Amino acid sequence: MIDYEKDPVLIRGTEDIWWVGFGDKKVGFANNPYLIIDEDEAMLIDPGPRGRFYKIVHNKVAKALKGDFEKIKYMAVQHEDPDLCASLPLFAQIVDENVKLYVQTRTAAFMPYFEYEGAMVTIEDGDKMSFKSGRELTFITTPYVHFAGSNVIYDSKTKTLFSSDIFGAFSVDWNLYANEYYLEAMKAFGEPYFGDHRSVASAMEKFEKLDIERICPQHGSIIDGKENVKNAIEVVKEMTVGQWV
Ligand SMILES: [Fe+2]
Ligand SMILES: [Fe+2]
């Protein structure tokens, strides 16, 4: 029996991608950092905020890595919001001292404000990184969805898209995997947070060129299966974005 408050969860259909987040029922807003453990190297994606959330993520990462934080040779933040960046300096103290942070150029400028002082690799659209095993991740920029410096990450080995805020949702009734109500629930998050149709359409066009088996967003639930992924892209395309002007 999984304890979602304490246990890391291996993502269905993968052998090495872990959900290390927190489906916070009190705030109705799940926050989902992910950990890829590729043989003896690991990458932590969108590590999260500080405070009680950091403790939860820290303990889940510790369990997934069996205490060996130094396996984390790479971290990535997919835009500059504190809900995914604030814990960076805390993790930086315990992961490999030569850790590299992959970050979009326009997001990199904000990292000093989080007191992150480690090495950064700045990425642009289509850039790739490889683990020692040869496994490749591709960085895809999604400008203005919802920050100028936003990007997503595609793992070609598992056909997983780490989408950060895109495909996220508020979720009072949270499940790790999206249920039949999830796609509709994405609208309440996406419509006010995404600014304009042109940038959303550009991001969706990029995603439609990929072979995606699952989407792992930073909020809400994992969208599993090609058909569900296709439907989710259609829902985002049809959103009435830029609501708060
Ligand atoms: Fe955000
Ligand atoms: Fe977020």
For residue 91, give the nearest of 122, 64, 123, 117 by alpha carbon: 117
pLDDT of residue 173: 84
- Residue 6 is predicted with a pLDDT of 94
242 assigned to some structural domain: no
Give me the mean pLDDT over the 2-9 stretch: 93
Report the separation in Å between the CA atom of 106 and the middle of ligand 1, taken as the mean of its atom positions: 14
How far is CA 217 from each of CA 46, 83, 84, 92, 133, rounded to the nearest angstrom? 10, 13, 12, 23, 25
Q: For residue 97, how far is its CA from the centre of ligand 2 (angstroms)? A: 27
Spacing, Cα 232 to ligand 1 middle (Å)? 19
Which residues are 224's β-sheet partners? 214
Residue 142 resides in a domain:
yes
**73-104 per-position pLDDT tens digit:** 999 999 999 999 999 999 999 999 999 999 99
Our CA angle for 136, 142, 148, nearest 5°, is 125
- Residue 15 in any domain: the answer is yes
What spacing in Å lies between the alpha carbon of 218 and ligand 2's midpoint?
6
Query: Is 47 a member of any domain?
Result: yes
User: Residue 193 has which token pair?
Assistant: 């947070």
| 14 is a domain residue | yes
Which residues form the domain of 115?
A: 9-237
Q: How confident is the model at residue 27 (pLDDT cuts 50, 70, 90)?
A: confident
The CATH number assigned to the domain holding 118 equals 3.60.15.10
- Supply 104's token pair: 């979009």
> Structurally, how many domains does the chain consist of?
1
Contact 223, 181 (CB under 8 A): no
Angle between helices 226-237 and 182-193 (to 10 degrees): 40
Sole residue written with tokens 């396996």:
71
For residue 146, say if its preceding peptide bond is cis, omega within 30 degrees of 0. yes
Residue 114 to residue 34: CA distance in whole angstroms = 20
| Ligand with smallest separation from the Cα of 83 | 2
CA–centroid distance, residue 83 to ligand 2 (Å): 6
Ligand nearest to the CA of 46: 2
| 145: nearest Cα among 214, 204, 67 | 204
Q: Give, as residue ranges, everything with CB less than 5 Å from ion ligand 1.
A: 81, 165
Alpha-carbon distances, residue 79 vs 103, 149, 235, 242 (angstroms): 8, 6, 22, 19
Tell whether 222 is covered by a domain.
Answer: yes
| Residue 241 confidence (pLDDT) | 95
pLDDT one-digit tens code per residue, 44-72: 999 999 999 999 999 999 999 999 999 99
Is 147 contained in some domain? Answer: yes
Q: Is the pLDDT of residue 25 over 80?
A: no
Q: Give the chain's length.
A: 245
Measure the CA–CA gap between 146 and 151, rounded to whole angstroms. Answer: 9
- pTM higher than 0.75, yes or no? yes
Cα 78 to ligand 2 centre (Å): 9
In the chain, what percentage of residues exceed pLDDT 90?
92
The CA distance from 158 to 4, in Å, is 23
Whether residue 166 is contained in a domain is answered as yes
Q: What pLDDT does 243 receive?
A: 80
Convert the pLDDT of each residue in 116-174 to its tens digit.
Answer: 999 999 999 999 999 999 999 999 999 999 999 999 999 999 999 999 999 999 987 89
CB-based contact 150:104 (threshold 8 Å): yes
What's the CA dihedral at 193, 138, 67, 39 to 10 degrees? 160
Q: Which residue has the higher pLDDT, 151 or 180?
A: 151
Written as six digits, the tokens of 168 are: 């996220």
